[in-house]
């Protein structure tokens, strides 16, 4: 019996009773949290088990304490929220977790019935459906940026209307300039005033500096881990790589995130010296539920899943003496902001640095960013003699998955890498 499917069906059958669904979700996630804490997965290193536990905690916090929660996207500068002891609720992650409980279709159908276009990215459609169903508790406010996709602003506007909460949108210039940095800095200051007015609390600047120091230490551990990954096999999974998005984005600056990277570094340092046959860099989101992709990449000593470029979209330390300026630079210079070439250059840079044999580019259904950039990325990788496979799918809505086709294409790609020596 598929327990998760049964659980997902119970959630879907009760969608007209949002309090009940939220209660069931919290019970389910709490049980999962306990099971991860007590048992974990014996095939994974300690650090990756801790990561699963941590992400469950990150998901539960805003559900349990909505009065200290804010809806955010992955580029929202959550350092400020941590300084106010707020819990960011990353909307894309919430959709992934709903997909993990196999009820995403119920929320997507609800959003479409209410007039949301079918072609909207399923991360947004699932979240909008959950918001329309009022399954997610009312947070304090919402903060987003204009980075990467235009879905962000519209989704946040709609969510704030549904919940009757205020929202703040950071308008991010496409290209970096000194004026652009000042423009974002001013908006960050306005955002802090917005939070202060809402919470009736003052920002503790010393706490913000402490958070930045924690973030910098985290980046240091992450860089050291990547440096060892260049020449050594280390277990990874499709789900763990998605979980890392929590730690490289909304969880950045938290002590528990720092602990994860410290553990990860220790684990790779102590891991036996093994060399994978081929190493793959993943571009964009990963469909964590896809059996065919997991079969190839989860803890596969022959085909190492290195990283997703989402987790290295801005790997630079912040200036503790200039928090606003350095956070403004971080958002503007993120590889997902601006022209696609910037992201392409970052993928090429990490593919070279980590000695990747190939890149798999995932075109998430409804994402103009990923499908629009595919040919540009292919050309850029070609110029550097790095083979690329582009596959289509949906990282949230299982109904759009292309299991059979992706399995065949991955098989052929790996065979090609083996036959031609990879480069
Ligand atoms: S997958 Fe694409 S469309 Fe969806 S949230 Fe991410 S960037 Fe936006």
Which ranges in 65-150 belong to alpha helices (H)?
A: 79-83, 91-100, 104-113, 122-132
Q: What is the band of 422 on the pLDDT scale with cuts at 50, 70, 90?
A: very low
Can you state the percent helix, strand and coil of the chain, rounding each to 5?
60, 10, 30
Give the residue, out of 150, 308, 367, with the most ligand 1 atoms within 8 A of its beta carbon, to mutate for a pocket test. Answer: 367
Q: What are 272-285's pLDDT values in tens digits?
A: 999 999 999 999 99
Q: What are the C-alpha distances in Å from 345 to residues 341, 342, 378, 380? A: 6, 5, 11, 8
**For residue 192, how far is its CA from the centre of ligand 1 (angstroms)?**
26
Q: What are 285-333's pLDDT values in tens digits?
A: 999 899 889 988 999 999 999 999 999 999 999 999 999 999 999 999 9
pLDDT the model gives residue 369: 78
Closest ligand 1 atom, residue 120 Cα = 3
**For residue 56, how far is its CA from the centre of ligand 1 (angstroms)?**
22
Helix H or strand E segment including 340: helix 340-353
Instruction: State how far the Cα of 327 lies from the Cα of 334, in Å rounded to an integer.
Output: 11
Instruction: State how far the Cα of 224 lies from the Cα of 127, in Å rounded to an integer.
Output: 35
Q: What percent of the chain has pLDDT over 70?
A: 99
Residue 421: how many CB atoms within 10 A of its CB?
A: 8
Q: Is the pLDDT of residue 421 over 70?
A: no
3-state secondary structure of 145: strand
Average pLDDT along the chain: 94
Q: How far, in whole angstroms, is CA 224 from its chain's centroid?
A: 21
Average pLDDT over residues 124-136: 95
Residue nearest to atom 1 of ligand 1 (CA): 367
Q: Please state the pTM of the whole predicted model.
A: 0.95
Residue nearest to atom 5 of ligand 1 (CA): 123
Nearest by Cα to 2 from 289, 269, 213: 289
Please list every protein residue whose CB sits less than 6 Å from any atom of ligand 1.
92, 121, 123, 148-149, 151, 285, 364, 367, 369-370
Residues 6+ apart with CB under 8 A from 399: 105
Strands (E) across 267-395 are located at: 278-283, 303-308, 358-364, 388-393
Question: 260-271 burial string, b = 16+ CB within 10 Å, else e?
Answer: bbbbbbebbeee
Average pLDDT over residues 143-150: 89
Point out which residues pair with 308 in neighbouring strands: 282
Q: What are the C-alpha distances in Å from 245 to residues 19, 110, 159? A: 29, 27, 22
Please tell me what DSSP assigns to residue 141.
E
Q: What are 163-173's pLDDT values in tens digits?
A: 999 999 999 99
**For residue 398, how far is its CA from the centre of ligand 1 (angstroms)?**
16
Q: What are 337-346's pLDDT values in tens digits?
A: 999 999 999 9
Which ranges in 117-270 belong to alpha helices (H)?
A: 122-132, 151-163, 178-199, 205-229, 238-248, 255-270
Give the residue, out of 334, 370, 394, with the most ligand 1 atoms within 8 A of its beta carbon, to mutate for a pocket test. Answer: 370
Q: Is the pLDDT of residue 423 over 80?
A: no
Residue nearest to atom 8 of ligand 1 (CA): 149
Instruction: State how far the Cα of 98 lies from the Cα of 108, in Å rounded to an integer.
Output: 11
Question: 195-226 burial string, b = 16+ CB within 10 Å, else e?
Answer: beebbeeebeeeebbbbbebbbebbebbebbb
Give the residue, out of 151, 397, 400, with the most ligand 1 atoms within 8 A of its beta carbon, to mutate for a pocket test. Answer: 151
């Amino acid at each position: 019996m598929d327990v998760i499917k049964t659980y997902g069906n119970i959630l879907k059958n009760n969608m007209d009773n949002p309090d009940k669904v939220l209660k069931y979700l919290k019970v389910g996630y709490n049980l999962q949290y306990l099971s991860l804490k007590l048992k974990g997965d014996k095939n994974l290193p300690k650090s990756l088990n801790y990561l699963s536990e941590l992400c469950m905690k990150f998901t539960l916090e805003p559900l349990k304490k909505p009065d200290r929660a804010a809806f955010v996207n992955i580029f929202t500068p959550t350092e400020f929220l941590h300084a106010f002891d707020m819990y960011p609720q990353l909307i894309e992650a919430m959709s992934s977790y709903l997909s993990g409980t196999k009820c995403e279709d119920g929320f997507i159908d609800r959003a479409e019935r209410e007039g949301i276009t079918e072609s909207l990215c399923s991360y947004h459609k699932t979240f909008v459906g959950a918001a329309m169903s009022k399954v997610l508790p009312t947070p304090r406010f919402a903060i987003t940026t204009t980075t990467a996709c235009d879905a962000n602003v519209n989704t946040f506007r709609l969510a704030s209307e549904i919940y009757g909460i205020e929202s703040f949108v950071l308008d991010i210039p496409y290209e970096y300039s000194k004026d652009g940095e000042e423009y974002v800095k001013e908006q960050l200051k306005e955002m802090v005033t917005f939070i202060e007015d809402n919470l009736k609390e003052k920002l503790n600047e010393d706490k913000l500096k402490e958070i930045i120091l924690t973030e910098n230490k985290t980046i240091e551990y992450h860089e050291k881990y990547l440096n060892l990954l260049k020449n050594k096999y280390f277990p990874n999974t499709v789900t763990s790589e998605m979980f890392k998005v929590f730690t490289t984005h909304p969880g950045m600056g938290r002590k528990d995130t720092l602990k994860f990277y410290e553990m990860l570094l220790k684990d790779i340092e102590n891991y036996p010296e093994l060399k994978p046959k081929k190493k793959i860099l993943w571009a964009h989101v990963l469909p964590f539920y896809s059996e065919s992709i997991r079969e190839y990449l989860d803890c596969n000593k022959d085909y190492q899943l290195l990283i997703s470029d989402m987790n290295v979209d801005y790997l630079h330390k912040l200036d503790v003496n200039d928090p606003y300026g350095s956070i403004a630079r971080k958002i503007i210079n993120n590889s997902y902001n601006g022209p696609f070439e910037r992201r392409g250059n970052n993928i090429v840079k990490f593919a070279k640095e980590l000695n990747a044999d190939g890149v798999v580019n995932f075109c998430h259904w409804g994402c103009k960013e990923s499908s629009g950039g595919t040919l540009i990325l292919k050309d850029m990788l070609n110029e550097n003699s790095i083979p690329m496979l582009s596959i289509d799918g949906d990282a949230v809505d299982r109904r759009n998955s292309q299991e059979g086709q992706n399995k065949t294409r991955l098989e052929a790609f790996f065979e090609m890498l083996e036959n031609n020596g990879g480069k």
